[in-house]
């Protein structure tokens, strides 16, 4: 994250204006520390984008308010598991229109979650499937008919099915349950951690298949269950699925201790100390993929490390000797540098390259203290 700070420092003309190529390589460095191969280019306008699930917003707000020194940076309290990255992996499966090949009266929906978005170093601690059913009856009569229910069966697909073969042979039932259709969205959740772990191996992810079957309907009416039918007896619910994946990048698990650095003194002085710096993500052109925060107080270190080095400058023994030598031979030996010696993390909510919404804690984003090194 020092790279982001450098980017910002340079824009303050503290150092020379960097070459475009250097800026790019700094950006690449920062993005790769976020686990991104390239800068995400989310499709469509901000409005058309996938909305941020409210549960993620809540977690983000909570992590922003965390002052607690004892809070573990690598536990997600909401799910009670180890982790520092929470992704809402989008379903990319198709709705198979028309009859299912395996069940004459069913409607079939494929579910596919691309688990390659996780970096190999990440340990998956939880994958929870969330399927939401939004039901908007087309005709008021449907509401009056009393409770409507569908039966939902979820299968994992264990291998690809060749054309003409029986797809049932390549499926294993995971869940079968009935869902009441109400005007308010209903949802089912299911733990799929070990299955999702197996999906991380290349070529091993055949996804899931969900079959929907209206319950209690008479067989003649089932004909009208077909979605293309102009006068459906039962309006189909809209199915929205996501996989909440909590994972741990063990290299980003240092303590989350945070000293409030927001109230840095503004006294003018040219001695080494942390200075206030607000980084607005708009200024670095990242506002289209970083959802929150819009910016943050990053601060930076600047100032002299003069002889004799006082204790408040947090110098190392080496720095103390270097200032001594510098005072004797100012041209031959430079002063020690004023650098960050304590940094703290922030949480970020962003879209990755697959348009998934990700919440992640980042180390070393805020300068809390400086020292002469
Ligand atoms: C899954 O995501 C990876 C990494 O973003 C990408 O390279 C790959 O093409 C995606 N696969 C599918 C099937 O979308
Ligand atoms: C050196 O560290 C102390 C506490 O460890 C801190 O109060 C002080 O601000 C630091 N000095 C600088 C220059 O940041």
Whole-number pLDDT of residue 97: 55
Six-digit token string for 328: 């004797």
Q: What is the DSSP string of 157-173?
A: E-SPPPTTS-GGGGEEE
**Is the shortest distance between the CB of 355 and ligand 1 below 6 Å?**
no
Q: How far is CA 145 from CA 137, 181, 233, in A?
A: 11, 12, 10
Is 208 within 8 Å of 157 (Cβ atoms)?
Answer: yes
pLDDT digits (tens, 9 = 90+) for 24-42: 887 887 788 777 778 888 7
Element (DSSP H or E) covering residue 362: strand 357-372
Q: Is 200 helix (H, G, I), strand (E, B) or coil?
A: coil
Q: How far is ligand 2, taken at its centre, from the CA of residue 186, in Å?
A: 53
H/E element, 177: strand 171-181
pLDDT the model gives residue 359: 93
Do the Cβ atoms of 236 and 212 come closer than 8 Å?
yes
Which is nearest to 207 in space by CA: 241, 239, 248?
Answer: 241
What pLDDT is recorded for position 143?
Answer: 66
What whole-number distance in Å separates Cα of residue 156 and Cα of residue 210?
9
How many angstroms is it from 43 CA to the middle of ligand 1?
Answer: 15
pTM of the model: 0.76
Q: Give the span between the Cα atoms of 7 and 12, in whole angstroms.
A: 9
Contact in structure between 195 and 158 (CB atoms under 8 Å): no
Closest ligand 2 atom number to CA of residue 369: 14
Structure tokens at 357: 């919404």
Question: Quick check: 105 pLDDT over 80?
Answer: no
Quick check: CB of 354 below 6 Å from ligand 1? yes
Q: What are the tens digits of pLDDT across the range 237-281?
A: 888 899 999 999 988 776 555 554 445 555 567 899 999 999 899
171 burial (CB, 10 Å; 0-12 / 13-18 / 19+) is: buried
Average pLDDT along the chain = 80
**Model confidence band, residue 216 (pLDDT cutoffs 50, 70, 90):** low
Residue among 37, 38, 116, 117 whose CB has most ligand 1 atoms within 8 A, to mutate: 116
Residue with tokens 């909440």: 244
* Residue 100 CB–ligand 1 contact under 6 Å: no
> Nearest C-alpha to atom 6 of ligand 1 is from which residue?
116
- Find residue 127's DSSP bridge partners: 245
Q: Dihedrals φ, ψ of 148, to 5°? A: -110, 145
d(CA 125, CA 41): 28
Q: Is 31 left (phi over 0), alpha (psi -120 to 50) or beta?
A: alpha
Top-ranked range on mean pLDDT: pick from 202-206, 214-218, 261-265: 202-206
User: Which band of pLDDT confidence, cut at 50, 70 and 90, is reported for residue 224?
Assistant: very low
Choosing from 314, 337, 366 the residue with most ligand 2 atoms within 8 A of its CB, the one to mutate for a pocket test is 314
Output the CA 192–ligand 1 centroid distance in Å: 20
CA distances from 255 to 122, 164, 363 (A): 18, 56, 9
Task: Taking residues 182-200, report their average pLDDT.
Answer: 93
* CA separation for the pair 311, 168 (Å, rounded): 74
Distance in Å, CA 321 to ligand 2 centroid:
19
**Ligand sitting nearest the alpha carbon of 36:** 1
Peptide bond into 144 cis (omega under 30): no
- Residue 257 CA to residue 58 CA, distance in Å, equals 21
Q: Is the CB of 119 under 6 A from ligand 1?
A: no
Which of 301, 305, 295 minimizes the C-alpha distance to 346? 295
**Tokens at 51, concatenated:** 């909305």
The verdict on the CB of residue 207 being under 6 Å from ligand 1 is: no
Distance 34 CA to ligand 1 centre (A): 17
How close is the Cα of 301 to the center of ligand 2, in Å? 11
Nearest ligand to the CA atom of 112: 1
Q: Which atom of ligand 2 is nearest to the CA of 341?
A: 14
**DSSP assignment string, 211-227:** EEEESS--HHHHGGGST
């Amino acid at each position: 994250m020092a790279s982001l700070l450098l980017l910002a420092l340079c824009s303050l003309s503290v150092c020379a204006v960097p070459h475009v190529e250097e800026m790019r390589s700094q950006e690449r460095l920062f993005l790769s520390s976020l686990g991104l191969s390239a800068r995400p280019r989310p499709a469509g306008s901000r409005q058309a984008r996938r909305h941020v699930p409210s549960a993620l917003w809540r977690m983000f707000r909570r992590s922003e308010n965390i002052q607690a020194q004892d809070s573990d940076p690598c536990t997600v309290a909401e799910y009670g598991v180890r982790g520092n990255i929470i992704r809402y992996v989008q379903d990319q499966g198709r709705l198979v229109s028309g009859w299912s090949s395996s069940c004459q009266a069913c409607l079939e929906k494929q579910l596919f979650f691309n688990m390659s978005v996780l970096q190999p170093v990440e340990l998956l601690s939880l994958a929870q499937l969330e399927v939401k059913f939004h039901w908007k009856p087309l005709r008021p009569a449907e509401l009056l008919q009393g409770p409507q229910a569908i039966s939902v069966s979820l299968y994992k697909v264990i291998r690809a099915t060749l054309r003409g073969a029986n797809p049932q042979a390549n499926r294993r039932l995971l869940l079968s349950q009935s869902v009441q259709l109400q005007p308010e969205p209903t949802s089912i959740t299911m733990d799929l951690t070990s299955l999702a772990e197996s999906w991380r191996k290349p070529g091993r992810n055949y996804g899931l298949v969900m079959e929907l079957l209206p319950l209690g309907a008479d067989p003649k009416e089932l004909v009208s269950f077909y979605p293309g039918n102009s006068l459906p007896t039962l309006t189909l619910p809209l199915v929205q699925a996501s996989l909440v994946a909590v994972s741990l990048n063990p290299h980003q698990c240092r303590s989350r201790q945070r000293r409030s650095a927001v109230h840095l003194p503004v006294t003018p002085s040219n001695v080494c100390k942390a200075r206030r710096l607000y980084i607005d993500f708009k200024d670095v052109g990242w506002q289209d993929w970083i959802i929150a925060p819009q910016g943050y107080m990053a601060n930076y270190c600047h100032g002299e490390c003069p002889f004799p080095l006082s204790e408040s400058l947090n110098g190392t023994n080496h720095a103390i000797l270097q200032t001594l030598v510098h005072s004797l031979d100012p041209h031959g030996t430079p002063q020690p540098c004023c650098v960050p010696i304590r940094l703290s993390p922030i949480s970020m909510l962003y879209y990755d390259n697959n348009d998934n919404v990700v919440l992640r804690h980042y180390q070393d984003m805020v300068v809390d203290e400086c020292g002469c090194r």
